[in-house]
Structure 1
């Protein structure tokens, strides 16, 4: 097919909002092989580990600068009772994980193990509390156990279990998917519960909780409206009540229906474009929630958090359907790239996002095999690594002036060019995606406002949009160098079909 062409402008001297590193957060649920056989192999494993935590997994995730980790769920959070996961492992009670495979959970990975993991990763903890089957007292005690110093009942219990100093826990979730597995509440019912639970999640010492109330599925702004009404009044100029500090929502990308989501690796060109269209729709959904929040909170004191997002396909053949294990292709990587571009553009309201999930579940960074010890970096992992320069950087608007014609996919118009940019000091990073399945794209970017002294680029793609990595071919999809032309402030780069690239700019 003939080469596609596009033209864009970036004003390097016109800063936008800061892109929080927490938009690159992660999610680890007691689901399938995310925790057991993923992060945690146990203290008797022959795989190198520290207190049962797999060391090569930790090192791989440190390579993408994982900023925060959400745990223990997900739906699992609302049937998890934290006291079952402390103390000697051999005496911890077992439970049935009713949501994910109906398997027996031995609670060997609990609070202390999770906080060990966060410390090893250098990541902030995001603990999701149990509203669905728990109590206000249970959640309040967990906060005290984790974060209080001195001679309190829960601090003493923590010391009995081997940890003297309290931990820092910045992020605290008030429930999960309260409209469904988290209790089947109505929005007004849960708004009342969120106020009550959040009130008793205390700040202890210098640990200040950022409380995140569970919110909507997709674009159901009823939930955002009810939660904002619990904090403020419509059109008020007063600051919202400081009860909870953020509202979450969830959004998954799939090409089919919930009953038949489609294969992760075997899909048509039509399926591919439907997936990209569904991914681009995240911009509309973020904007819908943001507009509601702006009406109640024009000063943007309350944050918006997308704490579950990513692709969801049918499980790999021969695996437990409750374990949600799926392969990860170039298509998945481009879904991530499109989301990050939208996150960067909405960084004034969107403060955190958590991809689902980190290891062996849904759109994972890593695929592991506990028996062979294999570890595979997925194409999505590489997008996170290539975009690392955006962490805590100042966003820059990318104005696409000339672009190829849009495609119609899944009832929506699909833009085949996706882009975002940021700057930090004397450097800038430009992210570019060519979503066309078959044609390459040459894009010229007019870089204005500052002198650019050099440009280096990398590109991620594969033989097809279904290309993926395995233990036998771990680098089938991996970033490689990409040629650039830089002349008189104009950058020219050609992106292969179905590819993602980053261009690092040195600024004079």
Structure 2
């Protein structure tokens, strides 16, 4: 009886992850030998006409008792300005290839209505269109990234949209823009030539799409002060042939970037993805395995791009990424509303570390999606607002935007579940214009704190401070009733030991350090 009791006690202590008894160790080496900048656009966002992302998220009813400009919700704007989102992708997603831009200009009462066939079959009233989106970007102080319609649109339609946005001539379409309230050109530069052309954007072959890209791009004209950065619709996940064909068949001078879409599906199966809030440790581990596949995807797609573009002139743009779970019970399944747990924050930190570490090729990305859809930064319910754990990761990581990338090597313990192993810790580092070093570390192990000793080669520093994001359980979430259950805290687990940095990462945590 006594032996059984001791066994149960040991098991209980193991699950708690006692810092004293079970702390593990690892080492990291950070070098100052780099000429690469972490492009701020890696920290971009995505807003599609889907569920309550636009309507009820950014664009709210006139009667809602919150501060607004027109119908743009300003507490949302201020929250996103705080984390310095650099770009916003719109209007989709799958919606982009059924969207006709002329439906979204002119007097709102006269705009035609349409059925959103991709997302819930709801009526789209087009009250949020081109001018409203660009006003939103102006308020956010971010770059607009427009996805043009290749699937159901025409070359002329896309060409005229660009002229409407960017020309300073006296053409009829420019006069129409002025009549609609904006005499000056918008000077939009990021331009997606279709979306997911392998799937909802037209079910094309890569060979057909490459020819379509060249055709559409030929008539997507540059205007004064607005040289287009044309982004090709790239591969789905591990479709390496798509990348090969596009890089081989599309001239580099026509293409600013090639997109990549990959979602972390907890189960790895589209039919039953798994719950956002209720999952076992085994399910959590498998989710992290699927998240870490991003490293493999970026590496292999980059290697193909290197064959055709060794100077890395064409950017890899991961403009849809994030965790995708089953919708919350009781919600419209076509609206893709899911809660956001500490697990999702660990996914965000890990993925952003991967992008930072591949910043020689990855120049832009977009989390899917900003508000109320998939792995959101913000959740809203009428006048209520919640900042998710993922939001706090972007707040922590904004220090890496446009900073010098510092190469990093890790020797860290494994996190093992059911006989399978992954590296327990991942990290990235940068140096900002003021000379400050920032190191972001993620401990995926839900039981064990891990002490990391860091060698900083040719880097002088004297003091360290930091922030940490963690919680008692990886299933914890912020809710409208308890919006600050998971929040940023000052981190005191790092110290200087001679010329080395020693940091103890709590279990299941994200930490960003600043070295002065």
TM-score normalised according to structure 1 size: 0.95
**Contact in 1 for aligned 2:469/2:511 (Cα 8 Å):** yes
Distance (whole Å) between structure 2 residues aligned to residue 249 and residue 446 of structure 1: 34
Instruction: Choose which of 432, 437, 440 in structure 1 pairs with 2:446.
Output: 437
Instruction: Choose which of 348, 371, 379 in structure 2 pairs with 1:336.
Output: 348
Q: Which residue of 2 aligns with 1:310?
A: 322
Distance (whole Å) between structure 1 residues aligned to residue 452 and residue 35 of structure 2: 23
**Contact in 2 for aligned 1:9/1:398 (Cα 8 Å):** yes
Q: Which residue of 2 aligns with 1:10?
A: 30
Structure 1 residue runs of 4+, over 6 Å off? none
Q: Which has the higher strand share?
A: 1
Q: Which residue of 2 aligns with 1:236?
A: none
Q: Give the Å deviation of 1:18.
A: 0.6
Identify unmatched segments of 5+ residues in structure 1.
Answer: 233-239
1:37 and 2:56 correspond? yes
Identify unmatched segments of 5+ residues in structure 2.
Answer: 1-16
**Contact in 1 for aligned 2:266/2:323 (Cα 8 Å):** no
Distance (whole Å) between structure 2 residues aligned to residue 413 and residue 196 of structure 1: 47
Instruction: Choose which of 148, 163, 169 in structure 1 pairs with 2:182.
Output: 163
Q: Give the Å deviation of 1:247.
A: 0.8
3-state DSSP of counterpart to 1:8: strand
Larger mean Cα displacement after TM superposition, 217-226 or 446-455: 446-455
**Contact in 2 for aligned 1:253/1:309 (Cα 8 Å):** yes
Q: Which residue of 1 aligns with 2:215?
A: 196
1:397 and 2:407 correspond? yes
Q: Which residue of 1 aligns with 2:243?
A: 224
Instruction: Choose which of 141, 157, 160 in structure 2 pairs with 1:141.
Output: 160
Distance (whole Å) between structure 1 residues aligned to residue 229 and residue 63 of structure 2: 37
Q: Which residue of 2 aligns with 1:111?
A: 130
1:49 and 2:82 correspond? no
Q: Which residue of 1 aligns with 2:384?
A: 374
**Contact in 2 for aligned 1:16/1:397 (Cα 8 Å):** no
Q: Please report the RMSD computed on the Cα atoms of aligned residues, expressed in angstroms.
A: 1.3
Larger mean Cα displacement after TM superposition, 411-420 or 221-230: 411-420
Q: Give the Å deviation of 1:447.
A: 2.0
Q: Which residue of 2 aligns with 1:457?
A: 466
Distance (whole Å) between structure 1 residues aligned to residue 91 and residue 405 of structure 2: 32
Instruction: Choose which of 278, 286, 290 in structure 2 pairs with 1:274.
Output: 286
**Contact in 1 for aligned 2:282/2:417 (Cα 8 Å):** no
Q: Give the Å deviation of 1:450.
A: 2.2
Distance (whole Å) between structure 1 residues aligned to residue 98 and residue 264 of structure 2: 26
**Contact in 1 for aligned 2:414/2:421 (Cα 8 Å):** no
1:416 and 2:424 correspond? yes
Distance (whole Å) between structure 2 residues aligned to residue 205 and residue 398 of structure 1: 41
3-state DSSP of counterpart to 2:214: helix
Instruction: Choose which of 393, 396, 400 in structure 2 pairs with 1:386.
Output: 396
Distance (whole Å) between structure 1 residues aligned to residue 328 and residue 263 of structure 2: 18
Distance (whole Å) between structure 2 residues aligned to residue 244 and residue 7 of structure 1: 40
3-state DSSP of counterpart to 2:242: helix
1:469 and 2:486 correspond? no
**Contact in 2 for aligned 1:195/1:230 (Cα 8 Å):** no
**Contact in 1 for aligned 2:155/2:219 (Cα 8 Å):** yes
Tell me the number of residue pairs that the alignment of Structure 1 and Structure 2 aligns: 493
